[in-house]
Structure 1
């Protein structure tokens, strides 16, 4: 699959809680997380997702350190602007701050993290357009947008992707959002693809893990990757290895139907 005109790995890596939590940085495990991200890149996972909110921007700094010295044209960096920063000049400043923390020449995919009803989408998208024109951002996307909001945003600029929650415990995107995206060439990026661990205890998943000789996480990611790019977080190189080998097999059609039934 192409993402921002680059060949994207079928599964990505999320960085939520790497380097801190909600706007609060944590520097205690920096070396570990940098090594985890670099290991993922070495395993062929080239989609790295972060946000200005993660650790107050520190997750972006860790991504910047991890990609330093590597072939930037083979890496897809996604970051996101927080909904309180969606006015024109705030978007510009947020993107430039993210770029500085990433220590990169550009951001591949810049997403509106959540919609904000108090700021007109036209204003935000015009700022996004300016970022593309000046080369700060390669392409623009959204996150947590409904079909209606996507249609409104697309009046002002092309949307490359929509990042939404999508897992076996939350299959709602399959109803309307994913068909809309597929019809319009918009990629779906799945956050919380493992349902924050809940999907792994699903009895159907456990049975399929035995059938295929795989882990429950690999079964779930294999299902989610059929129509999206899942971006699970991996806290260790072992988790990265598990994720990286989750798509080298194919679920039978009847097993896909089994998981589709909620």
Structure 2
């Protein structure tokens, strides 16, 4: 377990993109399946649930809310995000309040700027997020898809509360964050959260991890997740219980430093 926002959080989370709809469009056809999957992941020790107001036009947040309702709120860590066209002060406040209502929770653990928007001053957005902390609607502030320069600006802009996390795309197929962003985040004490940690399905056809997977008695996907979790909280998405079991198993093992170096060598070339 790690600690984030004064809570114990699992080293791997569950992503919810396309559970209950896509880009601002809800889909109610598989609600029961998604709710059950999220709940099941929590029972397997995955207590970080990542969602966003954009997912299914807010419907995904509703599904997360239903899934977590049977658990002690203090035992679940909910991340959600405000979309880039809602970054003006009043819009941020409104978005967070609406997200909390859809999630049916008194507070959001970690609230992220989903994507930067150069047409809105970062100081305006972060000021609103700090107001949300003061109001108790959110507990912690973070960003997503911020490079090092934007992250530096966000850190400098925050006056009352620290920026605690940056959610980025990071996997064995995208090692670029290891060059500058991850080292910078570590130096600042920020948590990196990794979306698409399995390369958006590329791992299914991967053979470069076969020997390492055999060594550990694990699947190649499990090895890929174990690689990412050394420096980040990966948030793979799955609604299949067998796949969730597979993900949860990664909480129980770590790669050796030699294997980490070998994987980096194989995927850097």
- What is the TM-score of this pair, normalised by structure 1? 0.98
1:200, 1:206 within 8 Å by CA — same for their partners in 2? no
Residues in 2 aligned to 1:200 and 1:188: alpha-carbon distance in whole angstroms: 24
Q: Which residue of 2 aligns with 1:48?
A: 49
Which of 203, 208, 212 lines up with 1:204 in the alignment? 208
2:177 corresponds to which residue? 173
Contact kept in structure 1, 2:17 and 2:237, CA below 8 Å = yes
> 1:245 — aligned with what?
249
Preserved CA contact (<8 Å) 1:204 1:258: no
**Residues 38 and 239 of structure 2 are in contact (CA less than 8 Å); yes or no, is this contact kept in structure 1?**
no
Alignment of 1:1-262 (within 5 A): 1-157=2-158, 158-261=162-265, 262=268
Alignment partners' CA distance in 2, 1:260 and 1:141 = 28
| Count of residue correspondences | 262
Q: Give unmatched runs, 5+ long, in structure 1.
A: none
CA distance in 1, matches of 2:172, 2:245: 22
Displacement of 1:217 after TM fit?
A: 1.0
Q: Which runs of 5+ in 2 are unaligned?
A: none
Give the Cα–Cα distance (whole angstroms) in 1 for the partners of residues 204 and 151 of structure 2.
31
What is the Cα deviation at residue 200 of structure 1? 4.0
SS of 1:111's partner is strand
SS of aligned partner of 1:92: helix
Deviations 1:166-186 (A, max 9, x none): 001100110100011001110
Q: What is the DSSP-based 3-state SS (H/G/I as helix, E as strand, rest coil) of the residue aligned with 1:195?
A: coil
Q: Distance in 1 between matches of 2:30 and 2:9?
A: 28
Contact 1:160 1:187 in 2 (8 A): yes
Take 2:6 and 2:254, find their aligned partners in 1: how far apart are those partners?
Answer: 26
Using the TM superposition, name which of 105-114 and 200-209 deviates more: 200-209
> Cα RMSD (Å) of the superposition?
0.9
Cα deviation, residue 2, structure 1: 0.8
Spell out, residue by residue over 1:217-246, the C-alpha distance to the aligned partner (whole angstroms, 9 max, x if none): 111001100010000001211111000001
